């Protein structure tokens, strides 16, 4: 009993060894694909149909797991479990524990990686696996969980977006939620190739779902867009199918000729490219138009063709009923009452069977929609509780934090006061030091300015003396040159003289460099005039009598007399003291 599993395991290990000996993993080419999304798309397109041969499944897919482990790539490992789930689903051709186990392993692989996109895809594929085998009760929770991720996951990051959103659309359409089905198709269309069959199919599906929701204008627009794409792609099968869909709109507008033209195109392409189901539907549709136009013979020929495609399966019950009703209408139009009665009896019997089936399906759809709403409400309620719990914990945290802060403030209050006092004292000391430094710097600049002024005066005095000598001994000089010297001397004397305005500026600088000097002299010798103060300031700068005379615009003799008068004023005060 245990020999067979052991033997299979040994054979699988042998295959792995042989692959290792060959030196190259068959999935090594994945490294050449740029972008993780493109790489995953390449993997998910791998062959998974090996029939019931589970040994072939392991032989072809296990190297992917080896490669994923070697490269420490959890996404490739996830993709491996996806492929294994699909392969074993096909192998058993029904829901099975092996497939469920691989889906679980896929979710476990990405559990700690914050990969909401891959988690969404796992739920979509798991749900569609059950949906394929019409186990709606098991499929339902996975699709609902996948839908929860829709608003949080960017479509552009999802591998094979059109395929997986198509799965979602199929499911929601099946349970009667055509609006949500349209949303998923519209999200997936931008990621299809421009002239691909998938793009045409998705446009057509959107149109069908809009039509079921009675949005006729929007539906027709999507059908026309799908037809344009099909014509550009030269896809005759889809041209025929969409033409047949558009025929209903022309018929509703009373354009029966255009309607017949479109349906006939559908029939031609369907028969040419072996699309029996579409050919059957198209023949029933054209028969109805012929009946409306009382073309009984053409209508019967179309119905006979349609009957040739009917199979004895529950799916064809609706079409059998439509054919029986059409034959009854033809018999009534031809006045053949016995045949009309036979076809009406057949129609009523089929209608009863279909009503029972439709009622069950309708009840199922209502149930699934109710379940969907209940799930959404439960999710919303859980989210609300989660938010409330978070707010509660946040509030407690804030209160604890505030309490801690208050305690710290009370403990450190005295210390802070002392620190503030120390800080203010240091700040005041820094301010005073800064101001002193600033005053020192400013005083240094003023000293330099005053020293530069004194030096300039002395240099100008030498220049003036030189010009005067030249004037004095310049009797033999050229008159023009002599005039130029005189002008220069006049200009220099004019700029050299200390006017009242210049004295005010000079005094301001002098007082900053020698603070209190002039005020002190004025205090000691109150009778000193403004001219006396000017003379004292220039004497303080150690200027010669000639320089002072040039500055004040007087002669040397006048300077000497001014000094004598100044000395007398000082002596009088000193004698009185």
pLDDT in tens, 470-521: 555 555 555 655 555 455 545 544 455 667 777 777 777 777 777 888 888 8
pTM score, whole prediction: 0.59
- At residue 546's C-alpha, the angle toward residues 544 and 549, to 5°, is 110
The contacts of residue 342 (CB under 8 Å, 6+ apart) are none
DSSP 527-553: T--HHHHHHHHHHHTT--HHHHHHHHT
Place 5 in a pLDDT band, splitting at 50, 70 and 90: very low
Taking residues 456-470, what's their average pLDDT?
60
pLDDT for 13 equals: 45
Evaluate whether 213 touches 205 at the Cβ level (below 8 Å). Answer: no
Counting Cβ atoms within 10 Å, is residue 433 exposed (0-12), middle (13-18) or buried (19+)?
A: exposed
Measure the CA–CA gap between 317 and 320, rounded to whole angstroms.
5
The contacts of residue 532 (CB under 8 Å, 6+ apart) are 525, 562, 565, 566, 569
Place 460 in a pLDDT band, splitting at 50, 70 and 90: low
DSSP 331-384: HHHHT-HHHHHHHHHHHHHHHHHHHHHHHHHHHHHHHHHHHHHHHHHHHHHHHH
Helices (H) and strands (E) counted in the chain, each on its own, are 23, 0
| Rounded (10°) angle between helices 136-148 and 161-174 | 130
The contacts of residue 19 (CB under 8 Å, 6+ apart) are 25, 26, 63, 66
pLDDT for 176 equals: 84
Residue 377 has a CB neighbour count (10 Å cut-off) of 10
Q: What digits encode the pLDDT tens for the residues 243-281? A: 999 999 999 999 999 999 999 999 999 888 888 988 999
Of the given ranges (20-24, 173-177, 407-411, 454-458), which has the lowest mean pLDDT? 20-24
Taking residues 154-174, what's their average pLDDT?
93
For 401-412, b/e burial (b = at least 16 CB within 10 A) is eeeeeeeeeeee
Q: Mind spelling out the 3-state secondary structure of 237-301? A: HHHHHHHHHHHHHHHHCCCHHHHHHHHHHHHHHHHHCCCHHHHHHHHHHHHHHHHHCCCHHHHHH
Three-class SS state of 212: helix
As a whole number, the mean pLDDT across the chain is 81
Evaluate whether 182 touches 210 at the Cβ level (below 8 Å). Answer: yes
- The residue ranking higher by pLDDT, 548 or 131, is 131
pLDDT for 6 equals: 44
The contacts of residue 355 (CB under 8 Å, 6+ apart) are none
pLDDT for 16 equals: 46
Measure the CA–CA gap between 14 and 6, rounded to whole angstroms.
12
Evaluate whether 68 touches 74 at the Cβ level (below 8 Å). Answer: yes
pLDDT for 552 equals: 74
pLDDT for 41 equals: 92
CA atoms within 13 A on the CB side of 121: 25
Measure the CA–CA gap between 124 and 139, rounded to whole angstroms.
9
Measure the CA–CA gap between 47 and 56, rounded to whole angstroms.
11
């Amino acid at each position: 009993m245990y020999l067979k599993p052991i033997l299979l395991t040994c054979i699988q290990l042998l295959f792995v060894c042989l692959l290792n000996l060959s030196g190259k993993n068959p999935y090594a080419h994945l490294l050449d694909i740029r972008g993780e999304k493109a790489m995953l798309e390449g993997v998910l397109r791998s062959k998974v149909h090996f029939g019931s041969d589970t040994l072939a499944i392991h032989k072809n897919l296990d190297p992917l797991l080896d490669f994923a482990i070697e490269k420490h790539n959890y996404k490739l490992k996830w993709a491996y479990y996806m492929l294994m789930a699909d392969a074993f689903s096909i192998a058993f051709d029904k829901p099975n524990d092996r497939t469920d186990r691989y889906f679980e392993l896929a979710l476990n692989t990405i559990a700690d990686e914050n990969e909401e996109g891959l988690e969404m895809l796992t739920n979509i594929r798991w749900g569609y696996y059950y949906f394929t085998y019409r186990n709606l009760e098991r499929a339902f929770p996975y699709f609902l969980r996948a839908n929860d991720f829709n608003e949080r996951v960017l479509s552009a990051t999802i591998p094979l977006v059109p395929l997986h959103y198509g799965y979602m659309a199929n499911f929601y359409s099946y349970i009667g939620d055509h609006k949500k089905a349209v949303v998923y198709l519209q999200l997936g269309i931008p990621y299809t190739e421009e002239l691909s069959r998938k793009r045409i199919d998705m446009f057509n599906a959107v149109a069908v779902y809009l039509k079921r929701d009675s949005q006729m204008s929007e539906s027709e627009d999507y059908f026309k867009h799908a037809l344009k794409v099909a014509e550009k792609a030269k896809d005759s099968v889809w041209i025929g199918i969409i033409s047949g869909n558009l025929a209903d709109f022309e018929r509703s507008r009373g354009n029966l000729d255009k309607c017949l033209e479109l349906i006939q195109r559908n029939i031609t392409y369907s028969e040419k490219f072996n699309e029996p189901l579409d050919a059957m539907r198209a023949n029933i549709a054209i028969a109805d138009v012929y009946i409306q136009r009382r073309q009984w013979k053409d209508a019967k020929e179309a119905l006979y063709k349609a009957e040739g495609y009917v199979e004895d399966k529950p799916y064809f019950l609706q079409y059998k009923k439509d054919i029986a009703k059409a034959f009854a209408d033809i018999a009534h139009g031809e006045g053949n009452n016995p045949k009309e009665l036979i076809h009406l009896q057949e129609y009523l019997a089929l209608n009863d069977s279909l009503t029972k089936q439709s009622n069950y399906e309708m009840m199922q759809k209502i149930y699934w929609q109710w379940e969907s709403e209940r799930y959404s409400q439960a999710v919303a309620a859980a989210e609300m509780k989660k938010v409330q719990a978070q707010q509660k914990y946040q509030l407690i945290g804030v209160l604890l934090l505030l309490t801690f802060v208050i305690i710290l403030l009370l403990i450190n209050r005295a210390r802070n006061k002392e620190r503030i006092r120390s800080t203010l004292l240091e700040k005041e000391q820094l301010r005073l030091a800064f101001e002193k430094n600033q005053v020192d710097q400013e005083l240094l600049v003023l000293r330099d300015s005053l020293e530069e002024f004194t030096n300039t005066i002395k240099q100008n005095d030498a220049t003036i003396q030189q010009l005067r000598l030249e004037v004095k001994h310049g009797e033999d000089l050229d008159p023009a040159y002599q005039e130029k010297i005189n002008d220069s001397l006049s200009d220099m004397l004019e700029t050299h003289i200390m006017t009242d305005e210049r004295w005010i500026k000079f005094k301001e600088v002098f007082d900053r460099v020698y603070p209190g000097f002039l005020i002190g002299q004025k205090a000691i010798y109150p009778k000193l005039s403004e001219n006396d103060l000017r003379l004292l300031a220039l004497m303080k700068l150690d200027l010669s009598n000639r320089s002072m005379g040039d500055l004040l615009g007087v002669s040397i003799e006048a300077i000497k007399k001014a000094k004598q008068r100044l000395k007398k004023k000082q002596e009088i005060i000193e004698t009185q003291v």
